[in-house]
Amino acid sequence: MLRNLFLACRSGLRCEVTPFVTRKTWQKLSDHSHGSLNQSKWWILYSIATMLVDAAKALAGKAAVDNHVNADTKVVGIGSGSTIMYAVERLAEKVKEEGFSIRCIPTSFQARQLIREHDLVLGDLETYLKIDVTIDGCDEADKDLTLIKGGGGCQTQEKIVAAYSDTFIVIADYRKDSVELGQAWKFIPVKVLPMAYRQVSIRLEQIGGKAELRMAKAKAGPVVSDNGNLILDWYWDQQQPMNWHEINTSIQCLAGVVETGLFVGMASKAYFGQEDGSVVDRDRIKTLHLS
């Protein structure tokens, strides 16, 4: 396992510590300790496990860029979140190595800064009407590549850029790959105009579950998005079967809703970096939604 970690990172992509460790990974590491963990050993095991997650993210980002960015690619949408930085690093390497002329469309303040930090050329949707490919992460993806996004509060701009792209590629580590939504992520972010958050909360709870206004951690009051909106985290009733296409449409039709964190039928392909150093890819099977 450690050998695969270092192989994944030897390309120079940095592997930063994140606060997530899968139960499966932790169990594997804990088994080797024979139940005798002191503080220093615990921290070593924790660091190894979290580095494995970041190595998996790096693998997915590299696979997406290598397979979907070439000499014919002119405009690339850059997603947001903790996984996208690895794709941006690989994109910057490829642009420098192969002399590509690429414009990058950001989906958030964070994405804009990543583009600038890596000396890539910044673009916008007003100037570039056609986006060849967008690469972005997700909070969870089910077997049909229906996504939950918006854990970082950027789903509106992310969805706009993805919707106007010829190809939308998702990158994630193994924790985000699920059969059904809700196995790894328990809520759906819904972005709302501030004046309507109470009314939308009530309507979401009428569908089933509970809606909570997302509160900020480094400021007093709620989280405010890049576009000045509030975010409701909808913990849907997981005992109730969901048709995500219909649910997404219903929520989008509520007055005051700006955008949901459900991305239904949008992703073309996903790459999931694995613990063992491999990458699993999955194509979306296109289905027809009848109204």
Q: Which residues pair with 106 in a beta bridge?
A: 78
Selecting among 89, 140, 158, 275, the annotated active-site residue is 158
Q: Let me know if 158 is a catalytic residue.
A: yes
**Residue 282 near residue 145 (C-beta atoms within 8 A):** yes
Catalytic residues: 158
